[in-house]
Chains A and B, each alone.
Chain A
Amino acid sequence: MSVILIVEDDKDLREMLRTALQRKDHTVVEAENGKEALLYFKPDITDLVITDLIMPDEDGLKVIMKIKELKKDIKIIAISGGGKGGPGSYLTLARALGADEIYYKPFSLNDLTARISELLQVEQ
């Protein structure tokens, strides 16, 4: 069982992710923007962060940078449904900033949960 922080401003999507991850026996902490994410992220407790990128109150790129400063080896998955400069520009930046995996929305939930298991196995 691991502790996963979900950072997503869309309430319905956040709930869907929480349901899926709790079914995999993970403990889920939810933040609806970047500011909350930085409050709820605990370096000693949080094992993995899933973060949206375009959000009010601190975007996901800042979240990745700040969380990486707090815990260098934290596993991060970035998710995004849009952005400037065409597809993937934000996600490419997220990857460059240290995200271990990136997904365009809508993504395959089974792919996402499988990747989470892989990343957490490496961690353990």
Chain B
Amino acid sequence: MKNPEEMKRKISRTDRTQALNKSGMTDTLRVTAGIAHDLNNILATISGYAELMNNDLDPDSPLRENSGKILSGTAKARILTQEILSLGKLSWKRESLSDVPAILGETIDFLMTSIPENISVVTDIPETGLYAKADPVKIFRVFLNLIGNAVDAMETTGGMLKAAVRMTGRNEIKEVAPENKIRKDLIGVTIRDTGKGMDAEMIKKIFDPLYSSGKSGTGLGLTMVKIFLDEIDAEIVVNSVAGQGTEFNIYIPLAD
């Protein structure tokens, strides 16, 4: 016979799965979303107790480094659970329009707790909506990858992350990507960091599958960014100087 606590947990998970089922998600996604949801609860408990422990420690206690590492680990795991939720292959009924400034703001809000204190965040995001004909989950994932990489590039040295959105005309893309055939006004998004930067050889490889300049990750992140942007005829342009930082400019066609 199962113990009552175990049975209670099972009942609880089944009920929650039923709650998610009402939303019309596919079976695979429903199960995955349920796991990610439960994992986030566990992570919240771990990080909460780590913060409570941290608050109890003397300012110069060597144990602070350990609790800091627990917090850093849970912040990274949180990004992974979000990645699980937003995997493109686990598709559910999607909205066809993305409010790009709102999604960029939401991505930054989401990442704030995992951005180290030695990195300042500057944003220039309009409050009015700028809409692109695109899946909001994929746009979120694009921003999540680019901002995550920017933070990684400044993790040890600190620095400044800038995220901006603006409306721009087609002329701007003609200069930076003359082969692009977009004939619409564009939403321009800039993600800039003052991190370690890249040399010309690295820039050539960054969108290649399995190439990774970071100490973590598979290298698939930027490849997916490129695939998602290609799907909506968007363009991504990289400017980087080793030792000084990197700037990604994205040009997304404005929806009619």
Interface residues of A (CB under 8 A from B): 9-10, 12-13, 16-17, 19-20, 23, 54-57, 59, 79, 81-88, 104-111
Contact = CB atoms under 8 A, between A and B. Distances in A.
B48 A20 contact: yes
**How many of chain B's residues touch chain A, expressed as a range?**
35 or more
Contacts of A20: 48, 52
A106 B41 CA distance: 7
A68 B53 CA distance: 35
B86 interface: yes
B19 A81 contact: no
A54 B140 contact: no
A51 B244 CA distance: 44
A54 B37 contact: yes
25 contacts: A9-B12, A9-B16, A10-B38, A10-B45, A12-B42, A19-B52, A20-B52, A56-B18, A59-B19, A81-B39, A81-B81, A82-B81, A85-B136, A87-B85, A87-B110, A104-B78, A104-B109, A105-B40, A105-B78, A106-B43, A106-B47, A106-B113, A107-B47, A108-B47, A108-B51
Interface in B103-122: 106, 109-110, 113
A81 B40 contact: yes
Nearest to A20: B52
A86 B41 contact: no
B45 A13 contact: yes
Given A9-B16, A84-B23, A109 B47 contact: yes
B155 to A, nearest CB: 18
Contacts of B44: 10, 13, 16, 79, 81, 105-107
A83 B37 contact: yes
Contacts of B74: 106
Interface string B77-116: 0100110011000001001000000000010011001000
Contacts of A79: 44
Contact of B106 (A12, A88, A105): A88
Contacts of B43: 81, 105-106
A56 B15 contact: yes
A85 to B, nearest CB: 7
Given A82-B37, A107-B44, A109-B52, A87 B140 contact: yes
Contact of A82 (B36, B95, B137): B36
